[in-house]
Every structure is written in C-alpha cells, then in structure tokens.
Amino acid sequence: MAFDFISGQITAQKSQARYRQRVCVQSTESVGQHEGTLIHVDGKSYLNFSSNDYLGLNNHSEINKAMEEGAMRFGLCASASSLVTGFHYAHQALEDKVCQWLNKPRCLLFTSGFSANVALFHALGQEVGQNKAHFFLDKLSHASMIDGAFESKAKVKRFAHNNVEQLTHLLASSDSQNKLIASEGVFSMDGDQAELAELSKVAKTNDAWLYVDDAHSIGVIGEQGQGSASILSGDNQADITMATFGKAIATSGAFLACDENVHEYLINFARHYIYSTAISPALAWATIKSIDLIQQEQWRRDKIIELSALFIKLLDPSIEVIPTTSSIHAIIVGDEQKALNVSEQLKKQGLWLTAIRPPTVSIGSSRLRVTICSNHNQSDINHLARCLNKALCR
C-alpha cells in the first residue's frame, strides 16, 4: 500500500507525547485591562502568553487604516511575481523604509521568513566550478536555515550554541573561498542572544560573511527596534540580515537586507523570489506604518523589560529559566508529557501557554515558551507566575 508509513508515524508521535494539532482561534479581543492579549478557543477565553506579537501592535488602528488605504490604492493582491508585474510602489516604499531603518543599501521582500532563509542558502550554496561554498550554522539555528543549508550544494557544519571557539576551529579547517557564518539574533526557543560582536570579529578574521536571522529581535532590540543592526554598527554590521514582518512588526512577510551585489544576485538566482507571487501591496503599505510606530514608541520595548524583570522576580527560584534579555522566557520542564500536563493545567486557570517539544527542541528539554508582550500588564504577570509556581513546585 502506497505511503503506508504515514499512519505509523502518526501513532509514534502520539506514543511519544509529540503529537501536534491545530486549534482554531475564533477571535482576539481587547477587553478592559486585557488589551489585545485574550484569545478565544472553543468558546473559552485565555490570556495569551504564546504570541509573537511582542510589541502588541496586532490590530492597531493606525496599521489597520494603512492596510485599508493600501488595498484601495494598490489592491489586496500583487497578482504576479515581482519580476513580472507584481512589484508595486508599496513594495518599493517598504524596501526603502527598511534600508533607512537598518542602514542597509538594499532590501528584498519575501512571502515568509522560511522562504527567505531557504532562498538565501540555496542561492549562495551553488557550486561554481570547483569552489564549493561552506556554511557554518549555530546548532540552534531555525529549521528554515538548517533546511536551506543542507538542501543547497554547500558543505555544512554546525557549531555548538554560541561557541565561538569551536566555530573558529571549523573555519580554520575550511579551504573554501566562500564561507558564511549563520546565526539567529535572538534564538526563537531559548530567547538568548547570539554573540554578534564576536561572530562579526571571527567572520572578518576568516574572510567570511555573517548572516543573521533577526526574526525575534527586530522591533524588540535597539532604541528604534533595529534588532542586530543596533548592536553591530559601521563596518561590523552583518553582511546579510533576514527578518520577518509577522512577529513584532505585526503584519506578514519577510525581507533580506544586503548590499547591491547580493541584491542583484538574489533577484536573478533566488528561486523562491523569482517564482513566488509578491506579498500583498496593501500589507506592505501597512508594514510601513508599523515600522513608523516601532521607531517612535520606545515605551513598548521598555514595558517588555519591566514586565520581564517582574516575571523573573516572582517565579520560584527552583524553576529553570534560560537567561534572556528578549521577550522570550524558556521554562525548561524536561519530559514531553509533563510539559503537556502543565500546559493543560494552565489552561484551566485561563492561561494559554503552549508546550514546546522535540523535534523543535532537543530531547529532554521540553519547555513552556513564555512570551511577554508590551500589552500585558502587571496583573497578568502576577497571575502567570502564581500559576506556574503552583504547577511546577509541588
């Protein structure tokens, strides 16, 4: 029977407490003190601590208005790939906005962060003549980076998380003229930051490029939310930066920011860009407004810092939390089933906190991934910490 492995694989997932199911969120709601932090699932309301809407900008009236303006002016759909007739003034304006924001020469828009990452590694991983590219990825790099790298024609090595010494040894053993170091700015499941200054230094010493996936730091890190661009400045900037619009920026899509040569090369050789319909021009127009708000409203980033400090203060010291300066607080539980059980306990207390299990994280490190957003308040954090202490400290 064709593909008879499917049912067996699903059964195995269930037996290992790794089975995944979608839930349908009926709506998000702004109600009194819970401004934009409630979700409704199966007729019940939950305080959401699993959202990537770090700055609380989703459903912002000014962004929604810009979306409406964009739809009226450009239409909702691009109707073609960017290289046919799908590249609109809204796309150009958004690219210019990102370049100004991050101080990068050029920018290219993609439909998602996954497609941007895969496109980049595929395009740079081509084997030209006898010279094969070498990619060096942090062990905790996102699945899209790993897939893109290993599906390319490049030679791929992974170094232990934030282990610059090991990376240096791997680079020293490479004879390729085309070396690329890749890391996330803020790691999606741990919430800690890359050693960007050290990575930049090692890249320059070894004549390599530095590529940073800034999906979880854009908007949140820096005085104007520039992410890694606020840490690496001048000649020490990452050679190429990727970030998504669907998290702190609260719209959809992604971008690659780079120099002129890489920009032209990607337009000609990045298959995910060439053969995909461009992102909605209305969304692009709305994204410009979102970036404006991010640049102007530092209070959103200050609020995350304030509430995060309160959260750590209130948690029982016996609870293992990975140190972070981001919105992401990873509470390590260990066992898959225990993580699921705690998640269900919290739902009974009106808290939505998804259990993260292998293969998203390594075996034995299942966790609750708490995301603290600027539209949470002190009462929310008090309730969360109280419920976690009760569930994990019996």
Dump pLDDT digits (tens) for 313-366. Answer: 999 999 999 999 899 999 999 999 999 999 999 999 999 999 999 999 999 999
Residues 122 and 234 in one domain: yes
Q: Are 242 and 210 in contact (CB under 8 A)?
A: no
Q: Are 339 and 18 in contact (CB under 8 A)?
A: no
Residues 110 and 77 in one domain: yes
Q: What confidence score (pLDDT) does residue 17 get?
A: 79
pLDDT tens digits, one per residue of 155-186:
999 999 999 999 999 999 999 999 999 999 99
Structure token pair of residue 48: 């959401």
Residues 270 and 125 in one domain: yes
Distances, alpha carbon 56 to alpha carbons 157, 246, 249, 377, in Å: 37, 12, 9, 12
User: Using CA atoms, how far apart are residues 345 and 276, in angstroms rounded to an integer?
Assistant: 42
Domain that holds residue 311: 16-48+298-392
Residues 219 and 306 in one domain: no
CATH number of the domain encompassing residue 121: 3.40.640.10
User: Using CA atoms, how far apart are residues 186 and 227, in angstroms rounded to an integer?
Assistant: 9
Q: Which residues contact 84 (CB under 8 A, 6 or more apart)?
A: none
In a domain, 324, yes or no: yes
Q: Which residues contact 136 (CB under 8 A, 6 or more apart)?
A: 156, 157, 158, 159, 167, 170, 171, 179, 180, 181, 182, 208
In a domain, 35, yes or no: yes
Q: What percentage of the chain reaches a pLDDT higher than 70?
A: 97
- Per DSSP, the three-state class of 114 is helix
- Indicate the pLDDT class of residue 31, thresholds 50, 70 and 90: very low
Q: Are 173 and 208 in contact (CB under 8 A)?
A: no
Residues 182 and 271 in one domain: yes
Identify which of 280, 138, 154 has the alpha carbon closest to the alpha carbon of residue 213: 138
Peptide bond into 359 cis (omega under 30): yes
User: Using CA atoms, how far apart are residues 244 and 155, in angstroms rounded to an integer?
Assistant: 26
Number of domains, the chain: 2
CATH number of the domain encompassing residue 309: 3.90.1150.10
Residues 269 and 320 in one domain: no
User: Using CA atoms, how far apart are residues 227 and 170, in angstroms rounded to an integer?
Assistant: 27
Q: Are 176 and 125 in contact (CB under 8 A)?
A: no
Region of poorest pLDDT, from 18-27, 151-160, 241-250: 18-27
Q: What confidence score (pLDDT) does residue 129 get?
A: 66
Last residue of a domain, one of 259, 274, 296: 296
- Per DSSP, the three-state class of 348 is helix
- Per DSSP, the three-state class of 352 is strand
- Count of Cβ atoms closer than 10 Å to residue 322 Cβ: 16
Catalytic residues: 52, 142, 184, 188, 213, 216, 247
Q: Is the pLDDT of residue 28 over 90?
A: no
